[in-house]
């Protein structure tokens, strides 16, 4: 009796230890900021300033922030404006200096760029999710340079170069054209290959993913644009919403239990039928002997 | 003791203590692995909760593998030594293995609906799994249709041995025909695989106990129950024959 108790306690302790180890492992394995609304990769080397419902990462050397949250609004622009008002206290925001749409695998995203003062710009990607908008924002606070991030659908998706979109972005946001910049080369970054161009006061980089060009423009004092562009693209490509497909899980478990119960039940049912047969045989035997 | 009494005692024999213990252990083990898969393992953030079906889906296949393997062993030994006990083991293996294979097939289809956006596709792995189920369902139908016991045992032993080809085909088809969308969790996934996920330590921690349980305890316990049922059935049939013969 005592040994049985010890065994039960040992078994329970083993089960608890297993559960605890599994739970800790699961916590350590997640390089993602997870929330009920979205998941976003945690940027390596960036300060994690995330809070409930807001994924925010800060790069002190570049003075750059990448932030993801949900915001209410009647369209992408008003949702972006609402988030910027709540975060940076920016009210009465001017119209975006760049506005475009891209169709990505998970829906239509709005790419917006706002110039918020003489030296700073805010780049936003926003997409509707239910009655709210997902707003992903890039902000560089270094007054010495202005950095903008854009995602532009390729005009010709047979090309595997972002040059036409870099040229178009330069024309819309600066006084420059791509011909004014010199090609520096290609940088192989974790998110893809980036084509880099440099001018006297501007740096431009672009990478093609799918049928879209990811463009990064920097004016003023040159910083590590490639690293910022890669972090921004990595955030966009790594963004996703975990689907709630739990009804399928419960259906799968119910079907499994049903099959096992049917198998065990058939054993019991057949055994009972045999027992009845046996009782009948015994009755007949005793009737015979009488 | 007369022949009739032996049959009667066989037909009404109580459950051995070891079998009772195994049944309790298998039930507790099943509940524990369900808890591990449902509540302890982390949620796959890309696939969502439905990924947890994997903790039943894959072990169920390996449970079927054990049971169908027992059918091969039973068939071989029956053909060699002519012992009826091994034929009963072979039959038990088919019934239990088929139930496990159906769990594997159906949980796979349920997982595929949200992940592949379809309940079914004629992928090599899925097709071979369906063929495997049909092969063993045909075993049971064929067995029920052969009257002569000797002939039935001999024929079904041979059938059971060859039917195992469908199990091996299901296991290895993704290595033979790499053009499959079925993911491989241990080892490199095929190029077109959809719905893969990494076998992290958390996944392995929830999977291993489940795999061990379905590979050993569950098929052995259920097959033992089915074996006893076959033994009882034969004993009752023998008593009936005796009675009819006077």
Pair of tokens at residue A42: 């945690």
Sign of CA dihedral A156, A157, A160, A164: positive
Mean model confidence pLDDT for chain A: 89
What pLDDT digit, counting tens, does each position of A39-98 carry?
899 998 999 999 999 999 999 999 999 999 999 999 999 999 999 999 999 888 889 999
Separation of alpha carbons B39 and A6, rounded Å: 26
Q: Does B45 contact A274 at a Cβ distance shorter than 8 Å?
A: no
CB atoms closer than 10 angstroms to residue B1: 7
What pLDDT digit, counting tens, does each position of B18-29 carry?
999 999 999 999
Q: Is the pLDDT of residue B194 over 80?
A: no
Query: Does this model's pTM top 0.90?
Result: no
Per CATH, which fold does B16-244 belong to? 1.20.120
CB A203 within 8 A of CB B8: no
What pLDDT digit, counting tens, does each position of B38-71 carry?
998 888 878 889 999 999 999 999 999 999 999 9
Cα–Cα separations (whole angstroms), residue A117 to A196, A228, A249:
26, 20, 51
CB B233 within 8 A of CB B92: no
Separation of alpha carbons B40 and A12, rounded Å: 15
Ranges of each domain in chain B:
16-244
Task: Output phi, psi for B18, to 5 deg.
Answer: -65, -40
- Chosen from A256, A257, A279, A283 to mutate, greatest number of chain B CBs within 10 A: A256
For residue A213, the SS3 value is strand
Residues 80-109 of B with CB under 8 A from A: 95-96, 99, 102-103, 106-107
Least confident of A227-241, B2-16, B220-234: B2-16
Is some CB atom of chain B closer than 8 A to the CB atom of A4? no
Sign of CA dihedral B208, B212, B213, B214: positive
By percentage, how much of chain B surpasses pLDDT 70?
A: 89
Half-sphere exposure of A22 (CA within 13 A, CB side): 23
Is some CB atom of chain A closer than 8 A to the CB atom of B45? yes
Is some CB atom of chain A closer than 8 A to the CB atom of B113? yes
Tell me which residue has tokens 């040994």. Answer: A3
Nearest to A209 by CA among A175, A235, A244: A235
CB A186 within 8 A of CB A194: yes
Separation of alpha carbons A67 and A235, rounded Å: 9
For residue B195, the SS3 value is coil
State which residue of chain B sits closest to A270, comparing Cα positions: B229
What pLDDT digit, counting tens, does each position of B95-140 carry?
999 999 999 999 999 999 999 989 999 999 999 999 999 999 999 9
Sign of CA dihedral A171, A174, A179, A181: negative
Radius of gyration from C-alpha coordinates of chain A:
31
Residues 6+ apart with CB under 8 A from A248: B50, B53, B110, B111, B113, B114
Nearest to A38 by CA among A103, A125, A152: A125
């Amino acid at each position: 009796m005592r040994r049985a108790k010890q065994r039960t306690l040992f078994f329970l302790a083993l089960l608890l230890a297993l559960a605890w180890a599994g739970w800790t492992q699961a916590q350590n394995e997640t390089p993602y900021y997870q929330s009920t609304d979205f998941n976003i990769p945690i940027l390596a080397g960036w300060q994690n300033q995330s809070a409930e419902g807001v994924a925010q990462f800060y790069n002190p050397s570049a003075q750059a922030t990448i932030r993801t949250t949900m915001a209410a609004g009647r369209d992408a622009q008003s949702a972006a404006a609402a988030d910027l008002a709540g975060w940076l206290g920016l009210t009465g925001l001017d119209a975006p200096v760049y506005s475009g749409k891209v169709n990505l695998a998970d829906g239509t995203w709005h790419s917006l760029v706002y110039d918020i003062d003489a030296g700073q710009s805010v780049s936003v990607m926003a997409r509707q999710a239910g009655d709210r908008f997902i707003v992903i924002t890039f902000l560089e606070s270094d007054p010495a340079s202005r950095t903008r991030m854009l995602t532009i659908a390729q005009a010709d998706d047979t090309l595997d170069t972002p040059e036409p979109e870099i040229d178009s972005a330069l024309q819309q946001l600066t006084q420059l054209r791509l011909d004014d910049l010199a090609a520096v080369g290609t940088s192989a970054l974790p998110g893809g290959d980036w084509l880099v161009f440099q001018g006297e006061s501007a740096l431009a980089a672009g990478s093609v993913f799918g049928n879209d060009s990811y463009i990064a423009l920097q004016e003023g004092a040159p910083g590590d644009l490639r690293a910022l562009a890669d972090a921004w693209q990595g955030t966009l490509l790594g963004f996703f919403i975990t689907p709630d497909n739990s009804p399928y899980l419960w259906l799968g478990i119910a079907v499994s239990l049903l099959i096992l119960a049917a198998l065990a039940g058939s054993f019991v049912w057949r055994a009972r039928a045999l027992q009845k047969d046996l009782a009948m045989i015994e009755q007949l035997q005793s009737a015979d002997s009488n | 003791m007369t022949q009739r009494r032996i049959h009667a005692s066989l037909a009404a024999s109580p459950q051995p203590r070891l079998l009772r213990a195994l049944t309790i252990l298998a039930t507790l083990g099943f509940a524990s692995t369900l808890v591990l898969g449902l509540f302890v393992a982390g949620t796959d953030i890309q696939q969502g909760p439905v990924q947890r079906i994997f903790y039943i889906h894959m072990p169920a296949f390996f449970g079927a593998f054990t049971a169908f393997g027992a059918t091969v062993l039973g068939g071989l030994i029956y053909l060699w030594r002519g012992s009826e006990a091994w034929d009963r083991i072979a039959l038990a293996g088919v019934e239990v293995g088929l139930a496990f294979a159906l769990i594997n097939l159906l949980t796979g289809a349920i997982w595929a609906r949200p992940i592949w956006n379809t309940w079914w596709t004629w992928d090599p792995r899925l097709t071979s799994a369906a063929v495997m189920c049909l092969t063993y369902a045909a075993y049971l139908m064929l067995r029920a249709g052969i009257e002569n016991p000797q002939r039935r045992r001999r024929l079904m032993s041979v059938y059971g041995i060859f039917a195992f080809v469908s199990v091996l085909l299901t296991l290895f088809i993704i290595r033979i025909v790499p053009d499959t969308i079925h993911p491989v969790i241990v080892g490199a996934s095929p190029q077109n695989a959809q719905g893969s996920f990494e076998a992290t330590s958390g996944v392995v921690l929830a999977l291993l106990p489940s795999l061990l349980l379905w590979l050993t305890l569950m098929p052995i316990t259920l097959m033992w129950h089915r074996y006893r049922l076959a033994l009882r059935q034969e004993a009752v049939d023998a008593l009936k024959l005796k009675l009819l013969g006077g």
